[in-house]
Structure formats: C-alpha cells, structure tokens
Amino acid sequence: MIEPNMATMLSYITTDAAVEQPALQAALKKAVDSSFNRISIDGDQSTNDTVLALANGTVKNKPLSEDSTEWNVFFQALKKVCFELAMMIVHDGEGADKFVTVNVAGAASDGDAELAARAVANSLLNKTAWAGTHPDWGRIMDSIGYSKAQVDENLVSIHYDGVQAVADGMRSEIPQEELIKVVSQSDFAINIDLHIGEGKATVYTCNCTEEYVRINF
C-alpha cells in the first residue's frame, strides 16, 4: 500500500548540522513533495506513514536558516537523500520487476500534468501491460482522458523512452517490435506531451505482476 501522502512507510533522516526548526520543516516538506509524494506502487494509501528529519547540531555550526549562505547546499543534499530513498521504495515494490518513470509535459498547469501522470502510473491496466511487456498506448490514452486534466486527444504524443508510439493522438509508424524492446527493459520512461501549455510533472511507479497478487492474497 504505497502512494504517499505518505503511506506504509517510515523514513528517518539525520544530520549533524544545526538547523532552525521552521527552516528544516519547510525544507523537508519541499523535498518530500518532489520525492516520496511522487511515487506510487499500487495507488493505495494507508494510515501509517512518517518522514522525520532530525538535526542534532553535533558540528556546532550556527543554526542554518533559509537566509544562510550554506542553505542551498544543505537543501539540495536533503532533496537528494529523499529522492534516493523514494526511488528505493519503488524498486522494492511488492512483486515488481520494472521501474517506470511517467513524465508529462505540455499540460495546462503543473497540477494538470500531475493528474495525468498519476492516472497513468496508478492504472492497473497499464501496470499489467508493462508486466506482460505490452506497450499498450491505448490504455495510456485512456488514463490521460479520465484524469480530469485538460486534454485534446488530437494533440497528444507518447514516447516509450525515445521511441514514439503516438503522434497527434494517433498511432505512429514505428514498428511494434521497437516499442516492445523498450517495455522489455527493467527501467524505462513513458514520456507524454499534451501540447496544451507549459505544465509538467513526473511520477515514479512500477509494474504489477502475479507475485503482487500472491503476496497480498
């Protein structure tokens, strides 16, 4: 059960630096929003979840704040740690053997882009297609369509990594075998462009296999 805001997850991040509590809280929220809150294993949230950042001040520096000259270095390091931990969770998804990055660009807003990306990432039809090495772009179009993002199906383009599956809402001329090669990999990206605006978002997910069903039976 992982589609954070957050879910079934305990993460503890520590630093020897001294950091002012309000600044650390704000930094952690920003870091979590772009990492832990951008992953989905099965779309199910749960009641137990925690991400803690603890600063013990062992190095006895002047407590960092958002105005400190060293702040950006600290913040980027925190973001990197959160991101790497979040990616480990996706790679360790129950029964999963494929890591899938869903990128959406050209949306009316970043919020719309996230709606579309989450719809694609959470769709069981998509997840099982990836498990079966089937590049079913029709299922992706369907997910985008019901996502509540602003969409004109005649403008949508979809690439599996760099291989185009859909152009202007229609199947491309690329042979199916080329798409299958991409989906056969253990790590690939689905790149969607809605060609409406400048909004963009990324969600990280995995496939859904028979092993997932067995574990949760």
Active site (catalytic) residues:
8
Which structure tokens are listed for 164?
Answer: 């185009």
Strand 99-107, strand 199-206: pairing: antiparallel
Proportion of the chain in helix, strand, coil states, percent, rounded to 5? 40, 25, 35
Q: State residue 35 phi and psi, 5-degree precision.
A: -135, -85
Distance CA 213, CA 45 (A): 17
Question: CB under 8 Å to 173, separation ≥6 — which residues?
Answer: none
- β-bridge partners, 201: 104
Beta strands in 78-198 (DSSP E): 99-107, 157-160, 163-167, 170-171, 187-193
Which structure tokens are listed for 159?
Answer: 């690439």
Contact 129, 208 (CB under 8 A): no
Distance CA 51, CA 187 (A): 26
